[in-house]
Amino acid sequence: MGDGRHEGHLGAVYDAGTPDQIAALYDSWSASYDDEMARAGYRHPTVGLALLARHAARGTGPVLDAGCGTGVLGDWLGILGFAPVEGLDLSEGMLAKARARGSYAALHRLALGGPLPFADHAFAAVICTGVFTTGHVGPEGLPELIRITRRGGPLVLTVKTTVWTGGFEAALKGHPGVEVVEETLPYVSMPGEAGTVPSLAVVARRR
């Protein structure tokens, strides 16, 4: 099991203390992010996409990619027939990369953990990969994602195991607005990063 210690850009964002610091670090990382994460064997987007395809029919939309980063999922969601897709992210640098892909109907610079400017039940499905992790967002990000998910729709999340056992599992399974319908075994999200602490993925269906 990894010890959670990382160097370079990844270590910096994990050690950041405020949302503004995180955003600035991702801004500076955006140019090389895709290449670096590919070398690390980054699995969260693939796992999340597979779960969404299992729990939502082709043509489902609108879908929110919460924490979209450079927009890799936007491309893949379109290939699988989910549309329209919107994305949100804290980093304008990452959003610029996502915007250049042309895969999103709309992109929003927003932080998870506080109020979101979307109507109740605005999205038929929500996917959030790589966000509920060290130094980023914890259970405080759940209520708004649940609120904006349409009744009957899936909410697909990846969660670092330390975050999961640190209150996230209790918050999700104790929320009256959702039912957990699938939970994966723990897996290493970045096999190329020796310090990586395992994560799991979970699907909750909006009641």
Q: Cβ(58)–Cβ(125) under 8 Å?
A: no
- Determine the pLDDT at residue 2: 54
DSSP 58-73: TT---EEEET-TT-HH
Tell me how far CA of residue 27 lies from CA of 33, 49, 69, in angstroms. 10, 25, 10
Give the chain's domains with CATH numbers: 8-206 (3.40.50.150)
Chain centre to alpha carbon of residue 149: 15
| Model confidence, pTM | 0.90
Mean pLDDT split into 10-residue runs, the chain, 207 residues: 52 66 80 90 97 98 97 95 97 95 97 96 97 88 98 98 97 98 97 90 98
